[in-house]
Structure 1
C-alpha cells in the first residue's frame, strides 16, 4: 500500500470533526475520515498555512486517472447541499483532500474497489468574516 502524504489540520476543525464522527457511530465514511484525522498534524488555526485544504477552503484538484479537474468548497455535511460547488468533508473525495497542500497527491478509493490518485492544484483559504 502506498505511503500517504503528511497532512495538517487546524485544532478547531479537528475537534469539530471528531464530535461529528462520534455522532455517526459505525458510519464507514466517518471511519475513513477518522483514520485521516488520526494521522494529521494538528496546529492552531492561525498557524495553518493558506495552501492547506481545510473546511470552507476552495480547492481545485485533478483525478490523475481521468485527467478531470474539479473545483469545490470543502464543507461540513450540513452545508453540502447549499450550493453546487460544495463538497462534504465526509465524502470520499472530501476526506482525501482534507489536510493536503498544493502540489500534494494521495491514492484514494473514490468508488468501491477503484483507486484513484487525487492531486491538489490550488487552494483558496476560507474567507474570514468579521463579527
Structure 2
C-alpha cells in the first residue's frame, strides 16, 4: 500500500459522506486506519492519520448537515494537506490552500466563518514543519 492508493480510497469515502449516515462509514474508517498503519513513510502515515481524523470530524456533524461552504473548505484543506511533492511544492500547495480557505470563509455564512478559518491553523503549522525539515 502506498500513499496514493490510500488517498484514492480516502477520497472515495470522503466524496460519499453526504449520501449516507455517519454509522454507515464505521467499517470504512476502521479499514482506512489499518491502511494508514501500513504506510512505511512516517510523514505519509501522519498525513493519512490526519486525513482520517478530519473525516471523523466531518462525520461528527451528522446532527446538522454540512453547508456547501464547509464541504468546500474541508475538501480544500484535504487537497492542500497532501503529503506528495517536493517541500517547495508542498509549501506552495499549503499556501494556496490557506488562500482558498480564506476565500471560502469570506463568502460563508457569518456563523461559519470562524470555523472555516480555523482550518488554516493546521496548514500554517504544517508549513512550519515542512520548512524546518528543509533545515
Which of the five TM-score ranges fits, normalised by the shorter chain? 0.3 to 0.5
Structure (1/2) with the larger helix percentage: 2
What is the TM-score normalised by the length of structure 2? 0.34
Q: Which has the higher strand share?
A: 1
Q: TM-score by structure 1 length? A: 0.35
